Amino acid sequence: MVHDRRPRDPPRVGASVVNATVWLIRHAPTAWTGRRWCGLADPPLSRDGRAVARTLARALVDELPAEALVRTSPAHRARSTAAEIARAARLPVTVDASLREVDVGRAQGLTWEQLEAREPAVAAAIRGGRPVDWPGGEPSTATAERAARVASALEATSGRPLVVVSHGAFLHALIATLLGTGRFERIAGQATEPLRAAEVVRLTRAWPQ
């Protein structure tokens, strides 16, 4: 699903601006997607996931400009998804470790039922939509700080179109951070929830030149 929003504040008449888009994309499915908490584990795309990535790439190729940059998490599932997009659109890919998934610590590899049984406080935080401090993993404050650094890096491109391939939990934090700057249109409803596999959110804003 693609969500396309325009900036809240249109540029002043006569101002020199460039309108640019950031495509935020969760990787295509793996055998763990929707079944187990993945975190920093590195399962490859499933057979269906590879097909989904190719379909996604074909859907995006006509809207990605030639000057777009593709940045991806180093995880195999993200790099494989980014590679399909880059191949279809003939764009270069940069691996960016700051786009890695949130480290879920002891929850890695667990099903939801196992998480509820072993880490009830974590499960309760997730159900309540509260920040999660994963036991043995990445604290919510660290995730927020990393999202802020990535947001600053995205803004530093000064309007260069960007494709960002990352992960559900981290993209959830990054979208919240970008919207919190006030320089991107707020996305309503489901787009602020963790993205589904291969889901795309587009944010568009105007950069003064």
CATH number, domain containing residue 137: 3.40.50.1240
Q: What is the pLDDT along the chain (209 residues), one digit of tens a residue?
A: 444 443 334 334 444 555 678 899 999 999 999 999 999 999 999 999 999 999 999 999 998 999 999 999 999 999 999 999 999 999 999 999 999 999 999 999 999 999 999 999 999 999 998 899 999 999 999 999 999 999 988 888 767 889 999 999 999 999 989 888 766 665 433 444 668 888 888 887 765 65
| pLDDT for the residue 102 | 98
The residues, ordered by sequence, that sit 6+ positions from 105 with a Cβ below 8 Å of its Cβ are 39, 134, 135, 136, 137, 138
pTM over 0.85: yes
Domains held by the chain: number = 1
| pLDDT for the residue 190 | 45
Q: What is the DSSP letter of 37?
A: -
Q: Which domain does 107 fall in, by range?
A: 2-208
Q: Return the number of other C-beta atoms located less than 10 Å from residue 124's C-beta.
A: 12
| pLDDT for the residue 202 | 86
Would you say how long the chain is, in residues? Answer: 209
> Position 72: which residue type?
T
- Per the listing, tokens 């036991």 go with 135
Instruction: Quote the tokens at residue 141.
Output: 């404050």
- What is the rounded (10 degree) CA torsion for 132, 134, 137, 142? 20
DSSP string for 160-203: --EEEEE-HHHHHHHHHHHHHTTSSPPPPGGGGSPPPTT-EEEE
- Per the listing, tokens 């993209």 go with 171
| pLDDT for the residue 98 | 98
Half-sphere exposure of 139 (CA within 13 A, CB side): 3
- Per the listing, tokens 């888009």 go with 21
